[in-house]
Copies of this chain bind each other. A is one copy, B any other.
Amino acid sequence: MYKIAFDDFFNYSFSLDSVIFGFRNGEINVLLIKRALEPFKNMWAIPGDLVYPDEDLSNAAERILFELTKLNNVELHQAQTFGHPKRHPQGRVITSAYFALVRIEEFHVEASSWAEEVKWVPVHEVPELAFDHNLILNSTFELLKKKLTYEPICFDLLPKRFTLNEMQQLFEYAFGVEMDKANFRKKIRPIPLISHDEKQMNVKHRPAKLFSFNSESYEELTAKESYQFKM
């Protein structure tokens, strides 16, 4: 058992990678950036940055998300932490993954100083990434799948007003299964949704009704009763 003076340990760096998920065309997408700087210049990567000395981890995650998307007030979820001694070529950098769920339609992303280019890629079609980012992405997507089953976070990915079929497609894509329409609707019956009079537009078939998540009613349910969201 070796001992080193406490001060000699202040030799590490700590970064944070923000996996940003969105939903589009029935597919869960992830936001990738093309690195403008070495190392791994010109490779696709998950947006991330070093954590500043005065920042809590969640603040850093919020900052990174804001710099890239100008979005505020997005709930962030901590995922796994990765610290292999050789994972960063320039030193000992330990990184925590966070993920955010956003509505792709509600904003557009611009490349920033640390990225030349930015794009959305369906999770199941992600190319080889810089660093250990494929590992990070996969483990974070697994966590997303788990949280989708016991927290109502699918509604952070869906448009504010969505059709039940869009909701079904989200789960079908995430879990790689096909579901029965009638049974899916029965299953989500306990989830508090607001049914709007509004209908889908510009479709060449019967337009679907639009729904939104009733978060007030959800809060009441979880607070008072023995209700538990479940998919």
Mark A residues whose CB is within 8 Å of B. Answer: 1-2, 4, 6, 9-14, 50-57, 67, 78, 80-85, 90-92, 94, 96, 113
A140, chain B: closest CB distance, angstroms = 13
Q: 15 A-B contacts, Cβ less than 8 Å apart?
A: A1-B113, A6-B90, A9-B50, A10-B12, A10-B92, A11-B11, A14-B14, A51-B94, A54-B85, A56-B85, A57-B81, A57-B82, A57-B94, A78-B81, A81-B81
Contact B1 A94 (CB under 8 A): no
Q: How far is the CA of A2 from the CA of B4 in the complex (A)?
A: 33
Q: How far is the CA of A9 from the CA of B13 in the complex (A)?
A: 6
Tell me if A's interface is mostly helix, strand, loop or mixed.
loop
Contact A96 B67 (CB under 8 A): no
Q: Which B residues are CB-close (under 8 A) to A96?
A: 81, 83
Listed from nearest, the 5 A-B pairs whose CB atoms lie closest are A57-B83, A9-B13, A81-B81, A12-B12, A12-B14
Number of copies: 2
Query: Chain B: which residue is nearest A10 at the CB level?
Result: B13
Contact A51 B10 (CB under 8 A): no
Contact A10 B9 (CB under 8 A): no
Q: Which B residues are CB-close (under 8 A) to A11?
A: 10-11, 13, 53
Q: Which B residues are CB-close (under 8 A) to A67?
A: 1
Q: Which B residues are CB-close (under 8 A) to A83?
A: 14, 51, 56-57, 96
Contact A4 B57 (CB under 8 A): no
Query: Chain B: which residue is nearest A85 at the CB level?
Result: B54
Contact A56 B84 (CB under 8 A): yes
Q: Which B residues are CB-close (under 8 A) to A81?
A: 57, 78, 81, 96
Q: Which B residues are CB-close (under 8 A) to A53?
A: 11, 85, 92
Query: Chain B: which residue is nearest A55 at the CB level?
Result: B85
